[in-house]
Amino acid sequence: MCGSSNSFTIEIRYEHLSKSMNESLEQLTKRISSLIPGDIKHVQADIENNIRSLLQTSLSKMNLVTRDEFDVQTAVLQRTREKLEQLEKQIEQLK
């Protein structure tokens, strides 16, 4: 694959982790396997299974959260920052 003009972008969204992830993994697997040279296409199914397994294993080891969980934590962080700023102002007024 060195020197190949094929390129692709990988984007996996985790909003609906199980269904979306499986669909994304399937798309990614197909995209990667489409880069396989024609003379070894006869083993494409095995390669696709191995790629899918590798991707699933790699992604399961990552500490990923859904978009909803991320948004909730972002909101919590924002409220915490606001409270901290408020407390810092109160401390300044007490000095």
Q: pLDDT tens per residue, the chain (95 residues)?
A: 444 444 444 444 444 456 666 777 788 888 887 777 777 767 877 888 888 888 888 877 887 777 888 899 999 999 999 999 999 999 999 88
- C-alpha pair distances (Å), 45 with each of 34, 80, 87, 89: 11, 51, 61, 64
Query: Residue 3: inside a domain, yes or no?
Result: no
Gap between the Cα atoms of 77 and 15, Å rounded: 20
pTM: 0.43
Gap between the Cα atoms of 46 and 53, Å rounded: 11
Residue 29, burial from CB neighbour count under 10 angstroms (0-12, 13-18, 19+):
buried
Q: Domains in the chain: how many in total?
A: 2
- In this prediction, residue 78 carries a pLDDT of 96
Tell me: do 56 and 95 sit in the same domain.
no
Tell me: do 21 and 60 sit in the same domain.
yes
Domain interval for residue 17: 8-64
Tell me: do 72 and 54 sit in the same domain.
no
- In this prediction, residue 12 carries a pLDDT of 45
DSSP 3-state percent helix, strand, coil across the chain (nearest 5):
75, 0, 25
- In this prediction, residue 18 carries a pLDDT of 62
